[in-house]
Amino acid sequence: MDGTTQFDDGFPSATLFSQGYSYTYDDVIFLPGYIDFPTDAVDLSTKLSRNISLSLPCVASPMDTVTESSMSAAMAALGGIGIIHSNNTPSQQASIVRSAKSHKIPFTADLIFLSPGDSIHSVDEFGSSPCVFVTESGTQGSKLLGVVSRSAWESLGNKEARVSDYMTKSPVSLPSSYNFEDVAGYLEAEKLEYVPLVNEEDGEVVNLVTSANVQTIKGFPKLGLPSLRPDGKFLVGAAIGTRESDKERLEQLVKAGINAVVIDSSQGYSLYQTDMIKFVKRTYPELDVIGGNVVTSYQARSLIQAGVDGLRVGMGSGSICTTQEVCAVGRGQATAVYKVSSVAHEEGVPVIADGGIKNSGHFVKALSLGASTVMMGSFLAGSSEAPGTYEYNKDGLRVKRYRGMGSLDAMTKGSDARYLGDTAKLKIAQGVAGTVKDKGSVLKFIPYTMQALKQGFQDIGVSSIQSAHQHLRSGKLRLEVRTGAAQTEGGVQEGGAHGLVSYEKGKYF
């Protein structure tokens, strides 16, 4: 093939998306391209916003059952980024940001703190931790005085004794600036079960690493280039709303060190959002601001004119979002990503495809249709790094809670402001709450998903996200619409895979 062959199969994107239909990812399929490079040559580096680069196109959604410090640390370690949700107080959100940015390793532990006068009456007070920390005030933010290991407490005769009577004083610790290899090497050399990591500036305990953690992470796929700022700290983003009080929230987040702020609204084409964007750019000109959500060209142009550095695309496409059903407003995600990215590309504004991601093929479609990154909610929910504790449902499955930010469950915590409904007397849900099964660690399944993404790019003949965008706009990338029967033929639908009575669908090995 000499590169001049005329294509007769399929349609260029401009033709397909100008016919008045609203397409989802499953509605469209790419035709194969010419392969002249190995899978490992595919480059997934990209832009989150005008000034922030990532080595992987992965963004954790600002949802209170998806992204807090553990998820943010893991995503940054992988080469993506987490956006901390705002369904909490400003001080709580800022604390989560500081926690995520204080780490150099790809996970954060649940730390337990007691004051010197406290007693431990039950082993349950340790939770899943091998120890508890004793500080002056019994909180994380005060001076560390000692540590009580689970084994020491279990061998204690008088369980009513104060922890100050038997704690280990001046416990061994390491600086939080140590990377994973440094910590793992220290634990092995000293034959320790665990070691706390402390902030070098104020001595605050910020994490706990156990030998079991080390062995688990060593079994995961090799991590890529982490998302770091010049100061060596993880990249972390945070969400805010459009209310006057969010300006004070933003001030705390900037002091905590955020690298990007997402204006979090289900419908971003509003006076409230454009005013907030202008405020952020005027007050913090070095901070990248991401606007949205949008699904149309005119929405995108409005926010670009207001000064955004990135756009978040999607309305009603998430698995727990019911906006299209309840409000009859939105757009199919494939069409939305293509239309918005076509406008944003002209202004050099990267696009985040937010919602509707169920498999690696959806990554391929989102990025090939013009997005620079993909935001994940349900795809990450139920993982080890997602907030919340595991429980077992009536069928014996290990699950975690997952809810849409438009669910009544989340709205009671304050997320109704995202839907411009915080002053309304009646609350109308635009999302649902439920559970998702245990997916294990994102440190394991995201690398495999990225490998599948590389293979998808290879099949359509593009070796990078930038190359995919060039093929899209030149018309070299060819698409077709799939009928219902074609979708059944191309994937697993209810009733079995291609007529099989039973089957196993593995994600990776």
Q: Is 354 annotated as a binding residue?
A: yes
**Domain at 113-219: CATH architecture:** Roll (3.10)
Q: Give Rg (Cα) of the chain.
A: 24
The active-site residue out of 321, 331, 401, 478 is: 321
Q: Is 464 annotated as a binding residue?
A: no
Burial 302-326 (b: 16+ CB within 10 A, else e): bbbebbbbbbbbbbbbbbbbbbbee
The answer to whether residue 58 is catalytic is no
Sequence-distant (6+) residues with CB within 8 A of 399 are 382, 390, 391, 392, 393, 435, 436, 437, 438
CA distances from 27 to 24, 74, 430 (A): 5, 32, 24
- What averages of pLDDT result for each successive group of 10 residues across the chain (509 residues)? 63 94 94 96 97 97 93 95 95 93 83 92 88 89 87 88 90 87 93 88 84 90 87 94 95 97 92 96 97 94 97 78 70 95 97 93 97 95 88 83 61 53 52 77 94 97 98 96 89 48 50
Q: Is 264 annotated as a binding residue?
A: yes
Superfamily of domain covering 13-106+225-490 = Aldolase class I (3.20.20.70)
The answer to whether residue 418 is catalytic is yes
Structure tokens at 275: 């005013």
The pLDDT of residue 429 is 47
Contact between 505 and 358 under an 8 Å Cβ cutoff? The reply is no
The pLDDT of residue 205 is 87
Contact between 76 and 99 under an 8 Å Cβ cutoff? The reply is no
Q: Is 403 annotated as a binding residue?
A: yes
Q: How many whole angstroms separate alpha carbon 236 and alpha carbon 80? A: 9
Count each helix (H run) and each strand (E run) in the chain, helices first. Answer: 16, 22
Helix axis angle, 90-101 relative to 69-78, nearest 10°?
40
CA distances from 439 to 382, 399, 400, 494 (A): 6, 9, 10, 21
The ranges assigned to domains in the chain are 13-106+225-490, 113-219
pTM of the model: 0.85
Q: Is 61 annotated as a binding residue?
A: no
The pLDDT of residue 389 is 82
